[in-house]
């Protein structure tokens, strides 16, 4: 058995790793795609977890043996809606930074405007297109891998938060947690490239929200796509 650790700078909610980043790390350990990553509980930052294969799955467990995350191969049949223009995506990012959303998630590695060294994917409202969220993202060179392209775990990270914002930018900030994400990357993204990040609503059943997310390169080509399950917190009893 090996171990893996999520550094504190890759946080999502307080004390746990960002779901998209955790999923990207688990997908890399799996080594195939599309990959489905299920987050059974939050991965505590700065805590090494045991990594082992269980049949076709890769699992991360804590010191007590509790299953924290699991990755396995899965089919992904999903088409993205037409992305907004680059100007519209840039306007959506400006909207996010000027809205209450920028404060509600200020330290998230992906979407936190106050996160030091964060990814800087600021997904906001697209005027005239309810039920979607978008961002114009220019990934920094510090997120590049050995091949000079943005490393896969950061592309998985960028496929995360936009799905939650697709359900909230037309209303108010709302806390929710990523439960499962199935994603596929296709082609690389260069540092500084103008990337359009898109999130859209797929469906809702009670506290469970289904969202899609996608990354489009500067040439307009699809570079990554994912389907995610988000879970709203249970209501507090009066």
pLDDT tens digits, 157-188: 999 999 999 999 999 888 899 999 999 999 89
Nearest-angstrom CA–CA distance, 182 and 35: 6
Laid out side by side, the sheet with 195-205 consists of 2-4, 49-54, 57-61, 67-73, 35-39, 177-185, 222-231, 208-216, 195-205, 132-137, 124-125
Q: Is the pLDDT of residue 236 over 90?
A: no
Q: Is pTM beyond 0.85 here?
A: yes
Q: Which residues pair with 197 in a beta bridge?
A: 135, 215
Lowest mean pLDDT among 27-36, 60-69, 76-85, 96-105: 96-105
Domains and CATH numbers, the chain: 2-73 (3.10.129.10), 86-231 (3.10.129.10)
Q: Is the pLDDT of residue 238 over 60?
A: no
Across the chain, mean pLDDT equals 95
Nearest to 178 by CA among 32, 17, 14: 17
């Amino acid at each position: 058995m090996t171990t893996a650790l999520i550094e504190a700078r890759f946080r999502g909610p307080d004390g746990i790793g960002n779901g998209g980043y955790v999923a990207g790390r688990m997908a890399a350990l799996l080594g195939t795609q599309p990959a489905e990553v299920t987050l059974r509980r939050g991965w505590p930052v700065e805590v090494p977890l045991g990594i082992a294969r269980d049949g076709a799955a890769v699992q991360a467990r804590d010191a007590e043996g509790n299953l924290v995350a699991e990755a396995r191969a899965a089919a992904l049949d999903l088409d993205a809606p037409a992305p907004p223009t680059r100007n519209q995506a840039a306007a959506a990012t400006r909207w996010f930074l000027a809205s209450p959303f920028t404060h509600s998630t200020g330290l998230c590695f992906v979407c936190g405007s106050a996160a030091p060294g964060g990814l800087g994917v600021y997904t906001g409202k697209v005027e005239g297109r309810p039920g979607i969220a978008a961002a114009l993202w220019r990934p920094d060179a510090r997120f590049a891998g050995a091949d000079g392209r943005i490393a896969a775990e950061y592309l998985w990270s960028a496929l995360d938060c936009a799905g939650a914002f697709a359900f909230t930018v037309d209303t108010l900030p709302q806390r929710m947690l990523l439960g499962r994400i199935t994603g596929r990357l296709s082609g690389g993204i260069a540092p500084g490239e103008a990337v359009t990040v898109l999130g859209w609503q797929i469906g809702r059943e009670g506290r469970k929200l289904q969202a899609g997310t996608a990354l489009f390169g500067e040439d307009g080509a699809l570079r990554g796509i994912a389907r995610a399950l988000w879970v709203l917190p249970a209501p507090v009893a009066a």
